[in-house]
Structure 1
Amino acid sequence: MLVGYMRVSKADGSQTTNLQRDALLAEGVDPEALYEDRASGKKEDRPELAACVKSLRHGDTLVVWKLDRLGRDLRHLVNIVHDLTQRGIGLKVLTGQGAALDTTTASGKLVFGIFAALAEFERELISERTIAGLAAARARGRKGGRPYKMTPAKLRLAMASMGKPGTNVGDLCKELGITRQTLYRHVSPTGELREDGRKLLAKDRSKVAR
């Protein structure tokens, strides 16, 4: 069975799906098997795409007018097609730069393989740039990565938990979203406030008093 997906985006000026609809119907897609979203390609919440993918069954083929109607970016596209392939579902693109993509054919599978390789290459480049950036920041005396922040609410919970026998410090840190170093800077192993903890609660009390 052929199932069609359309997307109209104000960002690229395509206000209607008439052209896409005509192309999908001409390809043999049943009008009852058409799904349409009206959103930006970068918007993650596309309910009709989710419904379309969910409706597909083994042996079906998803038909789209252009590749940019389907995926937000290369990795998103590759993930969608990989999921479809794993479920025995084909993908066919009717026009544009991805018109050679038809995963129901050998040549189409080859094209998708190239896309997947490019997506992996993109991931590796991003990873390399991130590692290089963190190394450069450390060389300048700055620590990279997301800060692990203690809050007054987390601190009070930590005080109560650390005072109880049998508390697993590792589990507590995961629950609070902080490191052991952050925990012990604020609270002692017996649940008593340390200097950083006293400062944090004092600052919190001053905010409340204002």
Structure 2
Amino acid sequence: MAGQRIGYVRVSTLDQNEQRQLEGEVLDRVFTDKASGRDANRPELAELLRSARDGDTVVVHSMDRLARNLDDLRSLVRTLTGKGVRVEFAKEHLVFTGEDSPMANLLLSVMGAFAEFERSVIGERQREGIALAKQRGAYRGRKKSLTPGQAAELQQRAEAGEQKTGLAREYGISRETLYQYLRQPVGSAEAEETAE
């Protein structure tokens, strides 16, 4: 019996369109995380790792959707192929089975390193651009997710024992942003939603 074709999709923000990543792929199941690639502790990725079986194929749009650094990428591919799972990266047209040639392993390392390098360069340019904009007085930072009144109300409700997941959903913020607001002194509105 042939294994399942399982898709893995990761988007960094709630408003990104995850549909396009594996468009046109015929899949039996899809696991979708809405989280930063920096965090290897993603719930859907963990469930994928638990449920993938010998003979299955995991399809990912590109290497940077699975992991943001080379060590995590190699570890995840090794974990999956060690279970007899085939890993396909659609954008790079690469397939890994665990019985890969030295050339395939080199390609994984080189392309993974390039993806990590590209991400670092983008982050560096972004930080430089923000610093220059601040010097010119043109950078005001991201618009706050909540007004000071909403932030105070959020803190009160959380202290009263309301579920944080429900509060985050109600206020339209991520759980990380909620925790940033809760770490602020009462009345402070300095919390800011983190990007990627």
TM-score normalised per structure 1: 0.46
Greater share of helix = 1
Structure possessing the higher relative contact order (Cα contacts under 8 Å, 6 or more residues apart)? 2
TM-score by length of 2: 0.49
Bigger radius of gyration: 1
